Amino acid sequence: MLVDKKLEVVIDKASEDHLYYVMKHKELFADPMHLSTVQYMNAKNMRNQIKFNELLYKRLLSFDREGIYLDIGVGPAFLEFVNNQLGKKLHLSTVEWEEQVDHFKCVRDSWKVNVDYECNDILKDDFKIHNCETYYDYVLLQRFFPVYKTSGTKRIDDVLTKFTPYAKTAIIIESDTNWTKAQWKHLLAISRERIKVFGSFNMFIIDLEQYK
């Protein structure tokens, strides 16, 4: 595994930097909408995320190592950090919500990961990934709140439709425990494949052509 004693020092430093960043920029985190972003002050949480993203990285390599991936809502950029540590074998570009791009900046800076594109709110009718002119093989939606923070299935379809100008395929990565029975049934219906990542986490491979 990637996380060893040497890397734990790097993770602890990034977590501590984020703690001081939150304390210094309280105004960024005062809105309840952004409160979840403070979770990365916890070094244990960061280590767990890196360990999971190493497993995801290996799963994506075995799935399609030649594909180009657009990572939506990149946050602290755990997958990109793992990719950099393990030889940049995945072709990754990053997108962050313009209202949260500064919340994780200190962590990304410490890991030397840039945000390639910014976007507005995915739930808005005029959703756009600014200045994105590349058509990707895949959009990655890992722990992507707008997809599952609802009790129905319409939100899933609405969100996926927004990505049709940007990619051929969506990959939703989430824990089974976060879906309702109706959502799970719907995901199975719209996916061409379901691939286990680890534990309760699966990747749902969804062709976006069906949403055009």
Cα separation values, 35 from 22, 40, 208, Å = 10, 11, 32
| pLDDT tens digits along 20-64 | 888 888 888 777 776 666 777 788 989 999 999 999 999 999 999
Q: What is the pLDDT of residue 31?
A: 75
Give the domain CATH number at 87: 3.40.50.150
Instruction: Order across the sheet with 167-175: list the strands.
Output: 117-119, 91-97, 68-72, 136-142, 167-175, 201-207, 193-198
Task: Identify the CA nearest to 120 among candidates 111, 131, 110, 112.
Answer: 131
- Torsion region of 34: left, alpha or beta (phi above 0 gives left; psi -120 to 50 gives alpha): alpha
C-beta atoms surrounding 97 within 10 Å: 19
203 within some domain: yes
Do the domain assignments include residue 87?
A: yes
How many domains does the chain divide into?
A: 1
User: Which segments of the chain have a pLDDT < 70?
Assistant: 34-37, 148
Give the range of the structural domain holding residue 147, as residue numbers without chain letter.
Answer: 53-211
- Residue 180 inside a domain? The answer is yes
Query: Is residue 96, in this structure, part of any structural domain at all?
Result: yes
- pTM for the whole structure: 0.93
Q: Are strands 167-175 and 201-207 parallel, antiparallel or unpaired?
A: antiparallel
Q: Is residue 91 part of a domain?
A: yes
